[in-house]
Amino acid sequence: MTVKDLKSQFLEYMEIEKNRSPKTIENYNHYLTRFISFAKVENPRDITEETIRKYRLTLNRTTDERGKPLKKVTQNYHVIALRSFLKYLAKRDIRVVPAEKIELGKQEEREVVFLESSELERFLRAPQGETLSNLRDRAILETLFSTGLRVSELCSLDQDDIDLKRGEFSVRGKGSKLRMVFLSEQSKTAISSYLDKRQDADEALFIRVPRNERFEKYEELRLTPRSVQRIVKKYAIAAGIVGKKVSPHSLRHSFATDLLRNGADIRSVQALLGHSSITTTQIYTHVTDKQLREIHQKFHGKTKTAQ
C-alpha cells in the first residue's frame, strides 16, 4: 500500500476513531500532502530521519507570498501532523521512524493581547443606543468577556442553547470537548434585552441585522466569525483603545487574565477555557508574573529605616 493510500486511511481514522473536526482533517491533509510531495516516497518504510530533517529545514526556509518565513508554530503544526501519521503507521505494525524521535521546534512566545480594567469598561460601554444592532453588539461583547468563548464557539450558539435563568450553558469546543461556561449578570441582561427586541424566527443566537430590519429576504442570518471580528474592532476604535490589535481572542485573553489576577487557580482557568493541556493555559502566567513583580517592587521593604 502506498503512502498516499495510507494517508487517506489515516484521515478516515482521525475522523471516525478520533472524532476530529472537519477543519482539523482538512489541515492534516494539507500538511501531510506537503510532506509526501517533498519526500517523493511510495513506501512508508522509505521515510527516513534524514528525509524528515531536510523537510524541516525546507519548512524553516519557506516564505509566504509576502516574503515572510513560516511561523514556528505553523512549522510545528506540520510536524505534529507527521508525528500523528507515523504513530498511526506504527500502530498498524508498519516499520517507520519512531514518532518520539521527532521533536517539536522551540516556538516564539505567543503574544497575549488583553484589555486593562479601564479599557474594558470603555469597550463594553461603547455600543450605545437601543437599536437591534446596538443591543446585539453589546450582548456579543459582554458574552465574549463573560465566558471566554472562542469566536467560532460564539457564532455556533443557538437561542435554545442559552439558559438565562441559570446563567450557564455547555459549549462544544476544540476536539468536540464539552465544557460549561457561565454568564455574568451584565451579559445576561444584555442578551435578554437583545432577544426581547428580535422579531425573526432564526435559531441562531447572534444574527446579522439588515439595515431596515426586514429579515424575510434572508435565508441565513447567523453571524460569521469575520463579522464578529469587525464588530470587536469597531468598538475598540470607538473606545479609544490604541496601540493594541483588539480581536475576539483579546477578550478571551482578558477573561483568563481577569480570573488569574483575582486569585483563580490555573487549573480552573484551564477548564473554563477548554484547554486540553495546562501548557496552553500557562501563557497567561507571564501576565500575572509581571503583576506580582510590580507589587513586590512597590510594597516590599518599605518599612526598613535608612542606614
Rounded to an integer, what distance in angstroms lies between the CA atom of residue 14 and that of residue 16?
6
Let me know: does 249 contact 132? Beta carbons within 8 Å: no
User: Has 275 been annotated as catalytic?
Assistant: yes
Closest to 95 measured CA to CA, from 86, 103, 105, 108: 86
Q: What is the chain's percent helix, strand, coil content, to nearest 5?
A: 60, 5, 35
User: Has 296 been annotated as catalytic?
Assistant: no
Rounded to an integer, what distance in angstroms lies between the CA atom of residue 245 and that of residue 166?
34
Cell of 136: 446585539
User: Has 78 been annotated as catalytic?
Assistant: no
Residue of 78, 138, 188, 275 marked catalytic: 275
Q: What SS3 class is residue 103? A: coil
Residue of 31, 194, 235, 284 marked catalytic: 284
Q: What is the residue type of 252?
A: R
User: Has 284 been annotated as catalytic?
Assistant: yes
Closest to 109 measured CA to CA, from 80, 61, 71, 81: 71
Let me know: does 28 contact 14? Beta carbons within 8 Å: yes
* Helix H or strand E encompassing 168: strand 168-172
Residue of 20, 83, 150, 253 marked catalytic: 150
Residue of 83, 188, 252, 253 marked catalytic: 252
Let me know: does 14 contact 43? Beta carbons within 8 Å: no
β-bridge partners, 207 = 222
DSSP 274: T
Let me know: does 233 contact 261? Beta carbons within 8 Å: no
Residue of 174, 179, 197, 208 marked catalytic: 174
User: Has 150 been annotated as catalytic?
Assistant: yes
Rounded to an integer, what distance in angstroms lies between the CA atom of residue 129 and that of residue 234?
15
User: Has 252 been annotated as catalytic?
Assistant: yes
Cell of 63: 516564505
Closest to 18 measured CA to CA, from 95, 85, 104, 94: 85
Q: What SS3 class is residue 8? A: helix
Residue of 7, 20, 83, 249 marked catalytic: 249
- Residues catalogued as catalytic: 150, 174, 249, 252, 275, 284
